[in-house]
């Protein structure tokens, strides 16, 4: 799927995304899920290649012809498959879509979400120059986004953030390093403490919960973990270690929507606010993120932007647009609440496997 504009993080620039869709047919219904693995192992060790393999050869064969009752039953059945959370989450999403359709309830209702719309922001990739960055941010603010996240990396951190903060003194601003620093290099970020940022996301390695705890002590600004929180257990470790004051929940990274819900509840009990991250999903994954983000402890704006920010042609009849108050409405129809345009899927299909 070609992106409307390239997206650059500390681990690289992409112009298009490989999206694996999972379609499950059961009891006359069709459920859809999206696996958010990228083509390259930059954000996660999983790639679209490994997810394809794990799905086709391990996860899906465990399910075909079985009576899978719900997400917890699914997690129990795939528990002996180590890791590969993004692959698992793609299937769990399709199961939730089926469950919702069968019970004629939206995912928001199944999750117990209260809000009909959720506050959102936009995640802005690294740009070639600070001037282009400012132009890009300005356009998003004109579009109506009231919260902006900047991608940073060593050498493109304090300066870039300062340019945006000076131009927009009152916008809700945060940064995301995607693990580009170490405990030794991260003090270069200390000047960010004066920029009134909502948070600093994942400065250190994904397996470095302990060093994040040491780093948080040096900063007034809350550190927020993304890559490190790969399960509810890891969320508990981070909370007990005080490795962060805010958690980014990407349900896929945690192993599925049910696991994202558990992280939400753990954080709520610990008094730690959460927000919903994004993986440049198509409208299929976006629908599930919106449902999750309708829960009460998602108290910071989500990385869920309008459909037009991602793809010229998305995969569903529905289009998600930004409301004037920088929110996006949560789907209300049963299941994911979106209707997949099959001809659109065909148009972008590179490979298909039926099990």
Of 43, 96, 219, 298, the one binding ligand OSB by CB under 6 A:
43
Q: What angle do CA 339, 305, 295 make, to 5 degrees?
A: 80
Active-site residue flag, 220: no
CA distance 122 to 153: 18
Query: Rounded to the nearest whole angstrom, what is the least distance from the CB of residue 297 to ligand OSB in the complex?
Result: 19
CA distance 90 to 309: 22
For residue 157, the partner it binds in ligand OSB, Mg ion, none, with Cβ less than 5 to 8 A by kind, is: none
CA–chain centroid gap for 19, Å, is 14
Which of residues 101 and 305 has its CB atom nearest to ligand OSB in the complex?
A: 305
| Among 151, 153, 217, 220, the one annotated catalytic | 151
For residue 278, the partner it binds in ligand OSB, Mg ion, none, with Cβ less than 5 to 8 A by kind, is: ligand OSB
Query: Rounded to the nearest whole angstrom, what is the least distance from the CB of residue 43 to ligand OSB in the complex?
Result: 4
Contact between 46 and 84 (Cβ < 8 Å):
yes
CA distances in angstroms from 107 to 110, 166, 202, listed in the order given: 5, 40, 29
CA distances in angstroms from 218 to 131, 186, 255, listed in the order given: 30, 10, 31
280 binds ligand OSB (CB under 6 A): yes
CA distance 107 to 251: 14
Give the interface segment with Mg ion, choosing from 54-62, 200-208, 251-259, 321-329 (CB under 5 A): 200-208
176 binds Mg ion (CB under 5 A): yes
Active-site residue flag, 104: no
E-assigned strand segments in the chain: 2-9, 12-16, 20-26, 29-35, 117-119, 122-124, 147-151, 172-176, 200-201, 223-225, 246-249, 274-276, 327-329
Encoded one letter per residue, x for contact with Mg ion by CB under 5 A and - for no contact, window 218-247 reads --------x---------------------
Query: Rounded to the nearest whole angstrom, what is the least distance from the CB of residue 5 to ligand OSB in the complex?
Result: 12
Structure tokens at 5: 């504009």
Contact between 242 and 223 (Cβ < 8 Å):
no
Contact between 321 and 307 (Cβ < 8 Å):
yes
CA distances in angstroms from 136 to 94, 139, 142, 149, 326, listed in the order given: 35, 5, 10, 12, 17
Which of residues 176 and 281 has its CB atom nearest to Mg ion in the complex?
A: 176
Which of residues 91 and 177 has its CB atom nearest to ligand OSB in the complex?
A: 177
Give the interface segment with Mg ion, choosing from 22-30, 76-84, 174-182, 252-260 (CB under 5 A): 174-182
| Among 105, 250, 333, 347, the one annotated catalytic | 250
- Tally Cβ neighbours within 10 Å of residue 60: 17
Which of residues 46 and 318 has its CB atom nearest to ligand OSB in the complex?
A: 46
277 binds ligand OSB (CB under 6 A): yes
Query: Rounded to the nearest whole angstrom, what is the least distance from the CB of residue 174 to Mg ion in the complex?
Result: 10
Of 18, 226, 314, 318, the one binding ligand OSB by CB under 6 A:
226
Of 48, 123, 172, 179, the one binding ligand OSB by CB under 6 A:
123
Encoded one letter per residue, x for contact with ligand OSB by CB under 6 A and - for no contact, window 77-106 reads ------------------------------
Query: Rounded to the nearest whole angstrom, what is the least distance from the CB of residue 237 to Mg ion in the complex?
Result: 18
Of 161, 178, 282, 294, the one binding ligand OSB by CB under 6 A:
178
303 binds ligand OSB (CB under 6 A): yes
Reported as type and span, the H/E element at residue 51 is helix 48-54
Nearest alpha carbon to residue 250 among 123, 338, 152 = 123
Which of residues 92 and 226 has its CB atom nearest to Mg ion in the complex?
A: 226
298 binds ligand OSB (CB under 6 A): no
DSSP 297: T
Positions that interact with ligand OSB (CB under 6 A): 43, 123, 176, 178, 226, 277-280, 303, 305
Which are the catalytic amino acids? 151, 250
Positions that interact with Mg ion (CB under 5 A): 176, 201, 226
């Amino acid at each position: 799927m070609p992106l409307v504009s390239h997206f650059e993080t500390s681990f690289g620039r992409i112009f298009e995304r490989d999206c694996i869709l999972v379609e499950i047919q059961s009891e006359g219904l069709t459920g859809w899920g999206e696996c958010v693995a990228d083509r390259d192992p930059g954000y996660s060790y999983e790639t679209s290649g490994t997810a394809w393999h794990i799905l086709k050869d391990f996860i899906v064969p465990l399910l075909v012809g079985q009576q899978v009752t719900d997400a917890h039953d699914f997690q129990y059945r795939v528990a002996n498959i180590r890791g590969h959370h993004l692959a698992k989450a793609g299937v769990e999403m399709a199961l939730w879509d089926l469950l919702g359709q069968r019970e004629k309830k939206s995912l928001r209702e199944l999750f117990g979400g209260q809000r009909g719309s959720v506050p959102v922001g936009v995640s802005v990739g690294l740009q070639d120059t600070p001037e282009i960055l400012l132009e890009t941010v300005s356009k998003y603010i004109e579009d109506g986004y009231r919260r902006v996240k900047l991608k940073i990396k060593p050498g493109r951190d304090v300066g870039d953030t300062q340019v945006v903060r000076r131009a927009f003194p009152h916008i809700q601003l945060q940064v995301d390093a995607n693990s580009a620093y170490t405990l030794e290099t991260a003090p270069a970020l200390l000047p960010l403490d004066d920029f009134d940022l909502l948070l600093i996301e994942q400065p250190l390695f994904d397996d470095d919960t302990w060093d994040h705890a040491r780093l948080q002590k040096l900063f007034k600004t809350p550190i927020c973990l993304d890559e490190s929180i790969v399960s509810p257990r890891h969320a508990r470790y981070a909370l007990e270690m005080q490795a962060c004051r805010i958690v980014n929940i990407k349900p896929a990274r945690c192993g599925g929507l049910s696991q994202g819900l558990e992280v939400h509840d753990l954080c709520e009990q610990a008094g730690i606010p959460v927000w919903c991250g994004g993986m440049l999903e198509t409208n299929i994954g976006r629908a599930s993120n919106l449902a999750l983000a309708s829960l009460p402890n998602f108290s910071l704006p989500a990385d869920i932007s309008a459909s037009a920010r991602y793809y010229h042609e998305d995969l569903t009849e529905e289009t998600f647009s930004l409301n004037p108050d920088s929110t996006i409405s949560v789907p209300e129809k049963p299941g994911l609440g979106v209707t997949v345009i099959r001809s659109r899927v065909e148009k972008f299909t590179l490979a298909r496997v039926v099990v």
